[in-house]
Amino acid sequence: APLACADISVATTGNDTTGTGSLAAPYATPRKGVQMANPGDSVIVRGGTYAGNYIEIQDDNLTLKSYPGEWAHISMPTSGTTSVTVWVYNTGVKLERLEISGGSPYSIHVVPNCNGCEITDCKIHGADWIGIKVSQPDNVKLRRCEIYNTGSVTAGGMGIDCVNGDNILIQDCHFHDCNG
């Protein structure tokens, strides 16, 4: 029988050691929630700021999103580190209704062969250089996002940089204050 997809809960009041990922016993960081998820699961992040733990999404069809009615902010510094805030390594990943800030050189990096990824209703800002770097994947969708204040450290900042990707959809997005 096919496995059912799970909802993994994360909250600022959670615990990465004793949490189970349930709503009653959430993990403390989105990074831990993503590490414990399986392909097809949703990592649902309660409102608040989650700073200093980059996220690597390495499962297909994983969704990372804010809890309904709340707004989760995932951030990394832009100095003293070289780490993207959110790395997308697999196909079909969805980022929904998140604030993603900082990161060096990018806030979000969709790496080669991560086809069919979607970034929807997100605020992406404060990247060292580029808000979203899309490196060779196809069929990436970027919808209703606000991307701003890029190039906060490195001159020539950009909202999005797509290299060798095909069928990239950018729809109803607002780009402003990019240092390009």
Longest dimension (CA), the chain: 53
In degrees rounded to 5, what are phi and psi of residue 152? -65, -20
Return d(Cα 121, Cα 124) in angstroms, integer: 10
Mean pLDDT, rounded, for 2-9? 81
Q: Which runs of E-coded beta strand occur in 54-114?
A: 55-57, 63-66, 72-76, 86-88, 94-96, 98-102, 106-110
Instruction: Supply the DSSP string of 34-51, one letter for each residue.
Output: HHH--TT-EEEE-SEEEE
Query: Residues 17-33: pLDDT tens digits?
Result: 999 999 999 999 999 99
Chain centroid to Cα 118, Å, comes to 10
Single-letter residue type at 83: S
**Phi/psi of residue 179, nearest 5 degrees:** -80, 55
How much is the CA Rg of the chain, to the nearest whole Å?
15
pLDDT tens-digit series, residues 37-63: 999 999 999 999 999 889 999 999 999
Q: Is the pLDDT of residue 3 over 60?
A: no
Q: pLDDT band at 4, cuts 50/70/90?
A: low
> Please, are residues 43 and 74 in contact by the beta-carbon 8 Å criterion?
no
Whole-model pTM? 0.94
pLDDT of 13 above 50:
yes
- Predicted confidence band of residue 179 (pLDDT cuts 50, 70, 90): confident
Burial class (CB in 10 A: 0-12, 13-18, 19+), 39: middle
67 neighbors 46 (Cβ within 8 angstroms) = yes
The model's pLDDT over 120-171, given as tens digits with 9 standing for 90+, comes to 999 999 999 999 999 988 899 999 999 999 987 877 889 999 998 889 999 9
pLDDT greater than 70 at residue 67: yes
Supply the pLDDT for residue 26.
Answer: 98
76-125 residue pLDDT tens: 988 766 789 999 998 999 999 999 999 999 999 998 878 899 999 999 99
Residue 180 has pLDDT above 70, yes or no: no
Q: Match 């402003």 to its residue by tokens.
A: 176
Q: Which two tokens stand for residue 22?
A: 């349930």
Alpha carbon separation from 103 to 20, 67, 106, 127, 134 (Å, rounded) = 28, 23, 5, 5, 15
**Looking at the predicted structure, is the pLDDT value of residue 1 above 70?**
no
pLDDT surpasses 70 at 2:
no
